[in-house]
Amino acid sequence: MNDDRDLQGLSALVTGATSGIGRAAAEQLAQHGAEVIVPGREARGTAVADAINADGGEARFVAADLSQGAGVDDLIQQASPVDILVNNAGVAWFGPTAELDMATFDQLFAINVRAQYVAERSAQTGYGTCYAIEQCPDADGDSRTGRPGPLAHRAGPGRAGPAGLHHRRAGR
């Protein structure tokens, strides 16, 4: 663990903490002394919380389904109070816009926009910190493959996506 425990006594809810950037954020927050709440599905979420605890940090797993609005509210209740919110959960769909069915679109919107908005709204208990993380395709398309990105993928980031909602709620 890090000797610089500047987040000691604070709680940090990190959505999307079971892999990638979210997991790295959860591990760093724990290294700095925050109690990290790891939401997700049983196996992956429990494994991340166990790894953080084994490394000397403090973490707990909370089962959550972010595709359901009630699931997000339940997560916030179980995680409260939340001092730091890292809104990192997200799903992607790659393909031509004409092939995107409405059920998939609804899932994308539920997790990538609605869940992040509900988490931020519900977690506000005073003076906290909220980070909205979203993957943006580069100028030529998908930042991971270099292929041109589909329109549906490009619709998430920006003014309608999590960062846009966060900026409007912050009065920017």
Amino acid at site 72: V
Q: What is the pLDDT of residue 99?
A: 95
Q: What mean pLDDT do residues 94-121 have?
A: 90
Q: What mean pLDDT do residues 96-119 have?
A: 91
Q: How far is CA 55 from CA 1, 50, 124, in A?
A: 7, 9, 30
pLDDT digit string (tens) for 136-157?
544 444 444 444 444 333 334 4
pLDDT digit string (tens) for 44-92?
999 999 999 999 999 999 999 888 878 888 898 888 888 899 989 888 8
Contact between 33 and 79 (Cβ < 8 Å): no
Contact between 10 and 84 (Cβ < 8 Å): yes
What is the reported pTM? 0.74
If you search the block for the tokens 């519900």, which residue do you land on? 122
Domains within the chain, CATH numbers bracketed: 11-169 (3.40.50.720)
Q: What is the pLDDT of residue 141?
A: 47
Distance from C-alpha of 39 to C-alpha of 12, rounded to nearest angstrom: 11
Q: How far is CA 46 from CA 32, 66, 86, in A?
A: 20, 16, 18
If you search the block for the tokens 């927050």, which residue do you land on? 29
Of 161 and 99, which is predicted with more confidence? 99
Distance from C-alpha of 133 to C-alpha of 130, rounded to nearest angstrom: 10
Please report the sign of the dihedral spanned by the C-alpha atoms of residue 27, residue 28, residue 33, residue 39.
negative
